[in-house]
Amino acid sequence: MTAILRDVVESDLDAFFEHQREPAANEMAIFPARDRETFDAHWRKILADDSTTQKTIVHEGRVAGNVLCWSQDGQRLVGYWVGSEFWGKGLATRALREFVEEEPARPLHAWVATSNVGSIRVLEKCGFVQVGSRTTDVEELLFELS
């Protein structure tokens, strides 16, 4: 299958900014939108951090979303976000599959809201299995790719 991931370039950030503030996406991920200043600071940090890996998801030449991996509390965590106009095309699944093939660290982990059935399905299709859960403000499941 053709690759759909490439390195993130600064001009992708405008699209990422719009994607991360779509109300349907915020509701799905139970994650609030960042304002532009907070978003820019967040991405500046990601792009400056050598321990974080970030890729842009491309669909028909357009920026469709991103997938990334970072270290937190001794775990290597993955996350992804797809713009709503690109949902339902199998892009998140293809992107995560391609990403984990390139990312050597194992285990990989992902936290997902219990209600986020689409994201849970993406993780399962990529071989992740549920290994834990927690309740903070949100009920979340921990998935692992070993």
Q: Which residue, judged by CB position, is nearest to ligand COA in the bound state?
A: 118
* Contact flag: residue 80 with ligand COA (CB under 6 A): yes
Strands across the sheet with 5-7, in order?
A: 5-7, 53-59, 62-72, 75-82, 108-113, 139-145, 129-135
Longest dimension (CA), the chain: 39
Q: Which two tokens stand for residue 41?
A: 């600071």
Residue 138: DSSP 8-state: S
Interface residue with ligand COA among 4, 8, 13, 28 (CB under 6 A) is 28
Interface residue with ligand COA among 67, 69, 112, 141 (CB under 6 A) is 112
CB of 113 to ligand COA, least distance (A): 7
**Helix, strand, coil abundance in the chain, percent, nearest 5:** 35, 35, 30
Task: Identify which of residues 32 and 48 has a Cβ nearer to ligand COA in the complex.
Answer: 32
CB of 24 to ligand COA, least distance (A): 8
Q: Which residues are near ligand COA by CB under 6 A? A: 25, 28-29, 79-82, 87-93, 112, 116-119, 121-122
